[in-house]
Structure 1
Amino acid sequence: MSNAPASRAILPEGWPVPRGYANGMVAEGRVLVTGGLVGWDANGVFAEGLLPQLRQTLINIKAVVEAGGGRVEDIVRLTWYVTDIADYRASLKEMGPIYRETLGRHFPAMAVVQVVALVEPQALVEIEATAVIAG
């Protein structure tokens, strides 16, 4: 596996630098797409609360990407689905350290969408990831 990055962030001229995400990504390589991953462990046990579920969800994303031969830096897109956007917004300050401890300082293109419910009744967040793996 090459250490050269398969992707780079895109920032249109004159746009402000985004904080915690990229406006767009350019990538070349093999595409890995996850399903919607939630905040449960390998035994199907959910963490309690949004922040613990977020941590576990990001750990799960990292595990799937690595199992597919990729690295965190290969992730080009994350789509977050949350059941409570107000809780999400109120937790932004605490989310930063959780994100960085699991995915580092790699910030791909992201979207956050509030949904009425998720398939797993205990899930407060579900995230889909797309990675492009070099070579």
Structure 2
Amino acid sequence: MSLERINPGELSPPTGFSHAVSATGGRLVFLAGQTALDGSGKVVGTTFPEQFERALANLLTALAAAGGAPVDLARVTVYATDVAAYREHAAELGRVWRRLAGRDYPAMAVIGVVRLWDDQALVELDGIAVLP
């Protein structure tokens, strides 16, 4: 299995994402949306960065349980109840991403939503991974 991250020079330089990711071979793993829920089902963290870190950790836990690693992520979608907060904390979120998932960025999108399943949730992440 191999993932090729494609960033054409004609497009603006990507920061914290890849413009395209091509996958060859392997097994697809579809990762359900993860919020900042702890093991008992309670939302933890009150700030966007705190909840982003927990949601990403939960996504990576599901990926690891399927036999994958962060480098296997081909696509991640971020659903934010406040896109302005995402932008405001982008540098900190980038540091969280690099600490937990490294520097191999998947194709990504951030989508503003009115609310998530749990009223206290500020952010949700889902993804697609390609495992060997």
TM-score (norm 1): 0.90
Show the counterpart of 1:9: 5
| Bigger Cα displacement from structure 2, 107-116 vs 94-103 | 94-103
Q: Does 1:33 align with 2:30?
A: yes
Q: Does 1:21 align with 2:17?
A: yes
Give the aligned CA root-mean-square deviation in angstroms: 1.3
Show the counterpart of 1:71: 69
Letter in 1 for 2:82: D
Q: Does 1:44 align with 2:41?
A: yes
1:45-103, CA deviations, whole angstroms, 9 ceiling, x for partnerless residues? 22222111100011111111110011110000000100011111111121111111111
Confirm or deny: 8 A CA contact 2:33 2:59 kept in the other structure. no
Q: Does 1:53 align with 2:39?
A: no
Structure 1, unaligned stretches of length 5 or more?
none
Per-residue deviation, 1:43: 1.7
Provide the C-alpha distance between the structure 1 equivalents of 2:43 and 2:12, rounded to a whole number of angstroms.
37
Provide the C-alpha distance between the structure 1 equivalents of 2:22 and 2:12, rounded to a whole number of angstroms.
18
Q: Secondary structure at the match of 2:124?
A: strand
Q: What percent identity do the matched residue pairs reach?
A: 35
Provide the C-alpha distance between the structure 1 equivalents of 2:9 and 2:83, rounded to a whole number of angstroms.
31
Q: Which runs of 4+ in 1 moved over 6 A?
A: none
1:11-35, CA deviations, whole angstroms, 9 ceiling, x for partnerless residues? 2353343111001101121000011
